[in-house]
């Protein structure tokens, strides 16, 4: 059924029906409701391709993100897609390998004429000149979660610095002083922000920062396992550990338990991200929760805002993270 046929069935002009489906604010609410109810009753479904061609728009937001099993990304996708669909848009998703640049995926999406582009840069491996060209192009672009140094861009993420600071302050309040940090990649904005928050918490308590207690690595369980091996080789074992994310924390706990250490009696551990699997550990994992779905909605909102009204000034929004205290942290044991 076409719009003209729908209009004939409803006894209305084609212009009126067309205004309803194009969101014209001049249409009376009662008329709009009548047309939509009639369309549903008669089984009318618009042709999105025809609408896009007629309006020279794709009604699509492109997203490039790493192909990882992290639940954090599932939450972002859920929030982003729901928000986009509320406004008549869809999200076109391109996965990239976790250790490859985004150029091929970005070019694919731009060729499909997405109206806005969202991507998380690869740590230290992007072609900066290519990304600079994309950021200065006609398609509004939002960088998600990992800011690139020396490049100005619209950005949406969470406040990892404050979240890590809260986590370290929690350990300090439990009496821990020798606190290690199993960090993420040096080139990653969020990972570096978590190290900065850790250092700020120590400085606020006038506790010395020991760079030998920071180990840079990756985001996976195996990085937590190798972090445990590193921890056990230290001349004096830390009593508490901050980790870059929950999967790393799970690997760390597994590695420490393999040599008979108890969590949290011997070592307190804090993760980051709020992966639902953390609640299933025994004991449940203390973590810093990132509002992934809210982050997805926020990045969709920024993309839609830039589509409707391109900004000359840069937009930067960081949502707050929240410390969730569970069972893997405990007061420092007083030996002797």
Residue 106 CA to residue 57 CA, distance in Å, equals 18
Other Cβ atoms closer than 10 A to 48: 13
Residue 49 clears pLDDT 60, i.e. is over it? no
Per the domain annotation, does 127 fall within a domain? yes
Which CATH number covers residue 193? 3.40.50.2300
| Local confidence band at 44 (pLDDT 50, 70, 90 cut-offs) | confident
Domain co-membership, 153 together with 296: yes
Residue 69 CA to residue 77 CA, distance in Å, equals 13
How many domains would you assign to the chain?
Answer: 3
Query: In a 10 Å sphere around its CB, with 0-12 CB exposed, 13-18 middle and 19+ buried, how is residue 111 labelled?
Result: exposed
Domain co-membership, 29 together with 147: no
Domain co-membership, 150 together with 169: no
Distance of CA 75 to the CA centre of its chain: 8
Domain co-membership, 108 together with 141: yes
Instruction: List the one residue out of 162, 196, 168, 163 whose CA is nearest residue 180.
Output: 168
pLDDT digits (tens, 9 = 90+) for 178-197: 999 999 988 888 999 999 99
Domain co-membership, 86 together with 22: no
Residue 282 pLDDT = 92
Domain co-membership, 73 together with 153: yes
Per the domain annotation, does 67 fall within a domain? yes
Residue 21 pLDDT = 76
Contact 144, 118 (CB under 8 A): yes
Residue 166 clears pLDDT 70, i.e. is over it? yes
Residue 200 clears pLDDT 50, i.e. is over it? yes
Contact 61, 279 (CB under 8 A): no
Residue 278 pLDDT = 92
Please compute, for residue 27, the number of CA atoms within 13 A of its CA located in the half-sphere on the CB side. 21
- 39 strand-pairing partners: none
* DSSP reduced 3-state for 53: helix
Residue 223 pLDDT = 95
**Of 112 and 250, the one with more pLDDT:** 250
Pairing state of beta strands 141-144 and 287-289? unpaired
Residue 96 CA to residue 181 CA, distance in Å, equals 28
pLDDT digits (tens, 9 = 90+) for 230-285: 999 999 999 999 999 999 999 999 999 999 999 999 999 999 999 999 999 999 99
Q: Tell the residue number behind the tokens 């609408």, with chain if given.
A: 51
Residue 159 pLDDT = 95
Domain co-membership, 273 together with 224: yes
| Local confidence band at 53 (pLDDT 50, 70, 90 cut-offs) | very low
Q: Tell the residue number behind the tokens 């009204």, with chain if given.
A: 309
Domain co-membership, 9 together with 152: no
The percentage of residues in the chain with a pLDDT greater than 90, rounded to a whole number, is 53
Whether residue 264 has a cis bond before it, omega within 30° of 0: yes
| Local confidence band at 138 (pLDDT 50, 70, 90 cut-offs) | confident
| Local confidence band at 308 (pLDDT 50, 70, 90 cut-offs) | confident
Please compute, for residue 117, the number of CA atoms within 13 A of its CA located in the half-sphere on the CB side. 26
Please compute, for residue 135, the number of CA atoms within 13 A of its CA located in the half-sphere on the CB side. 23
Domain co-membership, 172 together with 268: yes
Domain co-membership, 64 together with 99: yes
Instruction: List the one residue out of 241, 235, 278 whose CA is nearest residue 256.
Output: 241
The token pair at 87 is 């406004």
DSSP labels, 166-201: HHHHHHHHTT--SEEEE---TT-HHHHHHHHHHHHH
Per the domain annotation, does 65 fall within a domain? yes
Mean pLDDT is highest, among 7-21, 141-155, 208-222, for 208-222
* DSSP reduced 3-state for 249: helix
Which CATH number covers residue 12? 1.10.260.40
Mean pLDDT is highest, among 123-137, 156-170, 309-323, for 156-170
Residue 23 pLDDT = 64
Residue 220 clears pLDDT 70, i.e. is over it? yes
What is the 3 state secondary structure string of 138-161? Answer: CCCEEEECCCCCCCCCEEEEECHH
The percentage of residues in the chain with a pLDDT greater than 70, rounded to a whole number, is 92
Q: Is the pTM of this model over 0.95?
A: no
Domain co-membership, 286 together with 296: no
CA distance from start to end of the chain: 83
The token pair at 207 is 């506790």
Per the domain annotation, does 325 fall within a domain? no
**Of 298 and 85, the one with more pLDDT:** 298
Per the domain annotation, does 223 fall within a domain? yes
Per the domain annotation, does 124 fall within a domain? yes
Residue 25 pLDDT = 67
Residue 99 pLDDT = 67
Domain with 206 in it: 160-290
pLDDT, the chain, mean: 88
| Local confidence band at 313 (pLDDT 50, 70, 90 cut-offs) | confident
Domain co-membership, 7 together with 68: no
């Amino acid at each position: 059924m076409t719009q003209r046929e729908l209009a004939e069935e409803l006894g209305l002009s084609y212009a009126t029906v067309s205004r309803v489906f194009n969101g014209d604010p001049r249409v009376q609410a009662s008329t709009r409701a009548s047309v939509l109810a009639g369309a549903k009753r008669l089984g009318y479904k618009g042709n999105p391709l025809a609408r896009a061609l007629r309006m020279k728009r794709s009604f699509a937001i492109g997203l490039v993100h790493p192909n990882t099993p992290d639940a954090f990304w599932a939450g972002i996708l859920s929030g982003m897609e729901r928000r986009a669909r509320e406004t008549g848009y869809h999200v076109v998703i391109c996965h990239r390998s976790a250790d490859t640049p985004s150029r091929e995926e970005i070019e694919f999406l731009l060729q499909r004429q997405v109206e806005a582009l969202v991507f998380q840069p690869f740590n230290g491996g992007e072609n900066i000149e290519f990304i600079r060209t994309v950021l200065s192009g006609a398609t509004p672009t939002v960088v998600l979660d990992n800011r690139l140094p020396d490049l100005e861009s619209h950005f949406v993420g969470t406040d990892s610095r404050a979240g890590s600071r809260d986590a370290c302050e929690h350990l300090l309040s439990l009496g821990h002083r020798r606190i290690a940090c199993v960090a993420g990649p040096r080139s990653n904005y969020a990972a570096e922000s978590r190290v900065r928050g850790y250092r700020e918490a120590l400085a606020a308590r006038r506790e010395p920062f020991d760079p030998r207690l920071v180990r840079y690595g990756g985001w996976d369980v195996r990085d937590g396992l190798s972090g445990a091996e590193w921890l056990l080789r230290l001349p004096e074992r830390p009593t508490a550990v901050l980790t870059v994310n929950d999967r790393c924390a799970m690997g760390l706990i597994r590695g420490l338990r393999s040599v008979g250490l108890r969590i949290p009696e011997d070592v307190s551990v804090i993760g980051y991200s709020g992966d639902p699997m953390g609640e299933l550990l025994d004991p449940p994992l203390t973590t810093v929760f990132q509002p992934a779905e809210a982050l997805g909605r926020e990045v969709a909102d920024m993309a839609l805002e830039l589509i409707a009204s391109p900004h000359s000034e840069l937009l930067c929004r960081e949502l707050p993270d929240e410390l969730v205290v569970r069972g893997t942290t405990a007061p420092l044991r007083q030996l002797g």
